[in-house]
């Protein structure tokens, strides 16, 4: 049997700002990695 736990956060304004910044940086890193992977794949087929 699998068990799961849910956690609810109640961040203050400063913590909300930091969470948003971290999410933005993570998205930027994901997009950069996706761009890099696509360029490598394109270069392999030339």
20 vs 11: CA distance, rounded Å: 11
Alpha helices in the chain (DSSP H): 13-44
Give the pLDDT confidence score for residue 1 in this predicted structure.
79
Give the pLDDT confidence score for residue 45 in this predicted structure.
84
DSSP at 45: T
Instruction: Write the pLDDT tens digit of every residue in 1-46.
Output: 788 999 999 999 999 999 999 999 999 999 999 999 999 999 998 7
Give the pLDDT confidence score for residue 18 in this predicted structure.
96
* Residue whose pair of structure tokens reads 């913590």 in the numeric block: 15
User: Are 11 and 19 a contacting pair, CB within 8 Å?
Assistant: yes
């Amino acid at each position: 049997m699998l068990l799961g736990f849910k956690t609810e956060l109640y961040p203050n304004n400063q913590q909300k700002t930091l969470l948003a910044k971290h999410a933005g940086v993570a998205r930027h890193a994901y997009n950069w990695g996706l761009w890099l992977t696509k360029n490598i794949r394109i270069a392999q087929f030339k």
